[in-house]
Structure formats: C-alpha cells, structure tokens
C-alpha cells in the first residue's frame, strides 16, 4: 500500500487520502517500501546517517553541525533532565521509579502500544502519566522542562536502535494506520501533507532550512534549534510543522500526534537513537 501512497504523495498534486480505503494494513510491507524509497533516492547517504536529519542531506550544513557539536547546546538540558529525574516527588518516589531500568537507555522502545488502555503511549505522555500518578503537576508538552527530561532519556539511549513493536491487536494496527493516514493527508491553507515536505522534498529548502528525510526523523528528538534559542520536544516540532502549512496545530499529545509518532518511529526501526540533536 505504501508504494502506491508514495506515488500519490509525490506525483498527484492535490490528491488527498489516496488509496487508503480498501487496502489491508501491512506495517512490514510499508516498512520495506519506505526504506527502499529513501535508500534508492539517496544512495550516497549511509543508512545510519539518515537519523541526522538535514545534515545527512547537505554538506554545507554538515560542516556547521560539526562546529555546533563542539559545544553542544543541548548539554544544559541533558544535565537538567538528569537532575529532574533523580529529584524526589513529595511522596519520595522519583520519575525513574515509573520506568524500566530507572528510565536509562530505554528511549528506543517508545512509543509503544499499551494493550490495557488500547492507546499509543509516547515518552512525553508516559512522563506526564508518571507525574500525575504520583500527585505531581503534569508538564506542558512543549516546555523546556519536558524537553530536558526527554533529552536526558535520549542521551542515555544513544546508539540503541529504534525497536517499535506493533502487537497483533486490531487496535494497534488501527492506531498505526491512523498515524500513516495522518502523515499522508494534506492540510492547512498550503494543502501540504507531512509527506509533501519530508518524503517528497528532503534535502530541499524552505527559506533557510533544509528539509529532513522522514526516514529516521524522530531519532534525534528532542532538538535544540538555534533559531528558537532553546529545545523543542516532538510535540513542539509537530505543532510547528502544522503551523508552517498554515494549518491548525493539534493539542499536545492528541491521539493523532501519538499515532503519527508511532508510524514514523516504526519506520525508523533499526536506526540508532541520536538525540538530543542540534539544528541551525
Ligand atoms: C511545509 C513543509 C513541512 C511540512 C508539511 C511538515 N514539515 Fe516537518 N519540518 C519542516 C521544516 C522546515 C523542518 C525543520 C528543518 C528540518 O529539520 O527538516 C521540519 C522538521 C521536522 C522534524 C524534526 C526533524 C529534524 O531532524 O530536525 C520532524 C520530526 C517533523 N518535521 C515532522 C513533521 C510531521 C509529523 C509533519 C506532518 C504533521 C510535518 N513535519 C510536516 C517542514 C515541514
């Protein structure tokens, strides 16, 4: 199905939700087609390098990046996240108590499909669920505090390949499919889908920015953007991308954002976590 979707996304300008209705959901086949598309289109890019987003596409940017990484601008966030992780709640427990291995080295397993609630649980959502379960106030999904926590978790998971599972449960397949659909659906006044930019045009420019390829697009999250002067969570990035097409962003951790994160992370399976990242 995905192959057909690509064709539609790439060549049929203006087509919305093409060919989705009567195809079976087949994540493995989608995965194969997705990977083939990117590796064929960018034969010079090493597979693991796709996780470096715009830097994998542009030599000039890559040089800037090497310079940025000498004094990583996300370092403060990682340190702060580490502290926040260890800080006891009022009840004496910590964030680490909510996660396997105290939250260290597990970022590659999120999002996962929770067969109890029947929903996709992202890392950002899991963090807030932990805070709330312990009587603490949840964080804004676009806040620096949330970014610091996920930056720390990504940092301790660097190099570990994304390992997203889709259990054999019709609800999990439906969530995956909904995320896929969201990704290929055109929206906003500019009538662009996520795929219009990140599948059709990676390496292309929007103003001064170089578009990241959809393959491995979540491995480096959260990111420090020099343009923002601070960190961005996955929620913030999705909302910004919605606004870029003059669309209406969804509320943080809306089920559709979680589903599209599920879809994209599954497409990134096997590629190493590289977050937190730094971008111009
Ligand atoms: C109009 C083009 C456009 C559309 C449509 C768009 N984005 Fe983006 N996206 C960008 C730009 C520009 C950036 C910043 C440069 C870059 O990293 O690609 C970005 C960055 C990202 C990043 C961070 C990548 C990185 O390595 O820094 C993610 C994740 C992302 N977009 C996801 C999405 C999703 C999901 C959608 C659909 C809801 C979407 N984008 C729609 C233009 C777009």
CA 182 to chain centre: 14
CA–centroid distance, residue 211 to ligand 1 (Å): 7
The one-digit pLDDT tens for each residue of the chain (280 residues) are 444 444 444 433 333 333 344 468 899 999 999 999 999 999 999 999 999 999 999 988 999 998 899 999 999 999 999 999 999 999 999 999 999 999 999 999 999 999 999 999 999 999 999 999 999 999 999 999 999 999 999 999 999 999 999 999 999 999 999 999 999 999 999 999 999 999 999 999 988 899 999 999 999 999 999 999 999 999 999 999 999 999 999 999 999 999 999 999 999 999 999 999 999 8
Q: Angle CA(249)–CA(139)–CA(187) in degrees, nearest 5?
A: 10
Query: Which residues have CB under 6 Å of ligand 1?
Result: 53-54, 192, 194, 196-198, 206, 209, 211-212, 217-218, 220, 223, 237-238, 241-242, 244-245, 260, 279
102: burial class by Cβ within 10 Å (0-12, 13-18, 19+)?
middle
Contacts of 43 (CB under 8 A, 6+ apart): none
């Amino acid at each position: 199905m995905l192959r057909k979707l690509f064709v539609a996304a790439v060549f049929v300008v203006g087509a919305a939700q093409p060919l989705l209705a009567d195809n079976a959901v087949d994540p493995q086949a989608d995965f194969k087609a997705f990977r083939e598309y990117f590796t064929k289109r960018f034969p010079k890019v090493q597979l693991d390098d796709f996780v470096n987003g715009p830097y994998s596409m542009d030599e000039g940017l890559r040089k800037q990046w090497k310079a940025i990484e000498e004094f990583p601008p996300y370092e403060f966030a990682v340190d702060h996240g580490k502290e926040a992780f260890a800080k006891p709640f009022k009840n004496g427990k910590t964030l680490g108590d909510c996660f396997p291995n105290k939250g260290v080295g597990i970022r590659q397993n999120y999002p996962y499909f929770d067969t109890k609630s029947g929903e996709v649980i992202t890392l950002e959502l899991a963090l807030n669920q932990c805070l709330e379960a312990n009587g603490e106030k949840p964080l804004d999904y676009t806040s620096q505090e949330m970014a610091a926590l996920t930056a720390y978790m990504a940092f301790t998971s660097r190099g570990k390949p994304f390992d997203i599972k889709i259990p054999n449960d019709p609800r999990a397949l439906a969530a995956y499919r909904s995320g896929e659909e969201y990704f290929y659906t055109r929206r906003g006044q500019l009538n662009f889908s996520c795929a219009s930019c990140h599948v059709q045009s990676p390496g292309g420019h929007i103003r001064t920015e170089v578009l990241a390829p959809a393959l491995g697009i979540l491995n480096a999250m959260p990111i420090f953007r020099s343009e923002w002067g601070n960190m961005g969570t996955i929620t913030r990035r999705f909302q910004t991308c919605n606004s870029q097409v003059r669309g209406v962003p969804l509320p943080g951790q809306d089920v559709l954002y979680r589903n599209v994160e599920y879809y994209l992370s599954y497409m990134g399976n096997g590629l190493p976590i590289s977050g937190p990242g730094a971008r111009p």
